[in-house]
Amino acid sequence: MKVAVIQTGAGPNKAQNIKRATDLVLRAITQGAKFIALPEVFNYRGLLSAENFSSVAERIPGESTRPFLALARERKVFILAGSVYEKGPQAKKYRNASVLISDTGKIIAQYRKINLFNAILGNKVFKESLWFLPGKSLAVAPVEDFKVGLSICYDLRFGDLYRKYARKGVDVICIPSAFTKKTGQAHWEILVRARAIENLSYVLAPNQVGEDYRGVASYGNSLIVSPWGEVIARASTDKEEIIYAEIQKGSIQEARAALPGFAK
């Protein structure tokens, strides 16, 4: 199956971001991709405030996912809408949700980010827990012959989450991200490859690129990694682009035959 990982540089204009993401997904479809993955917050990367959330957060399906439901149905492809800000059950609390859409245009899995990004990087303080509720559940769904497990960005640092996916027999791990340049230079490739190696699974890791409203740069370097931990496609550090790879069940089976017991 041909997969595409899309690297975007989303900004504060939600409608513009959705249009750009739709255009990039269409481009990937014309290149024969059957499964296309967008990065975290592909639809909005701007100021987090009560006023902004009132217009940016949405129910699912909503304006950020409906265009991809239609595209998936019309073009018979699977699409991962990396993540969107979802209205939560509590006032002024939201969820960061990843949405997997089938080739019939149906939502087949929805994952809410479990591990929220609370960190201090230089003089920048990140505290997603101020705005978001953590998710509680894994999300697994079939994409053609592959079993796909969903996660988001900061989850990448929590290997136990992916071991749970391994025990569920997941073949492909998706990690849509807005991983920062500072942490990305030190940890991004190492962690993405580690998740592939320890679970003998493919990893699709679409990342954001460019600076956000705070002047914090995302690292780019979106990756597709094999079950043996090889980087089979990599994006640049400084521009929007699409990377492609063919993934095969045989490669997963070969890796797991060489190293039996991976899912224990």
| Annotated catalytic residue 174 | no
**213 within 8 A of 12, measured Cβ to Cβ:** yes
Which residue positions in the chain have pLDDT lower than 70? 263-264
Position 127 scores a pLDDT of: 80
In order of their start, the domains of the chain are 2-258 (3.60.110.10)
Position 120 scores a pLDDT of: 77
> Which tens digits make up the pLDDT trace of 159-195?
999 999 999 999 999 999 999 999 999 999 999 999 9
| Annotated catalytic residue 14 | no
Position 34 scores a pLDDT of: 98
Nearest to 46 by CA among 20, 93, 11: 11
Exposed, middle or buried by CB within 10 Å (0-12, 13-18, 19+), for 126? middle
How far does CA 177 lie from the centroid of its chain?
5
Look-up of token digits 């595209």:
71
Task: Tell me the one-letter amino acid at 199.
Answer: N
Position 70 scores a pLDDT of: 98
**Please, what is the average pLDDT of the chain?**
95
Interatomic CA distance for residues 177 and 161, integer angstroms: 16
Structure tokens at 194: 């580690």
Interatomic CA distance for residues 61 and 69, integer angstroms: 9
Catalytic residue among 34, 87, 113, 181: 113
pTM of the predicted protein model: 0.96
**212 within 8 A of 45, measured Cβ to Cβ:** yes
Position 155 scores a pLDDT of: 98
Look-up of token digits 């993540």:
83
Quickly count: other Cβ atoms within 10 Å of residue 58's Cβ: 20
How far does CA 254 lie from the centroid of its chain?
26
Catalytic residue among 14, 40, 174, 240: 40
| Annotated catalytic residue 40 | yes
Position 21 scores a pLDDT of: 98
Position 263 scores a pLDDT of: 67
Please give the C-alpha separations between residue 121 and each of 6, 127, 129, 154, 214, in angstroms, as whole numbers: 26, 11, 16, 14, 12
Quickly count: other Cβ atoms within 10 Å of residue 55's Cβ: 9
Catalytic residue among 14, 58, 87, 153: 153
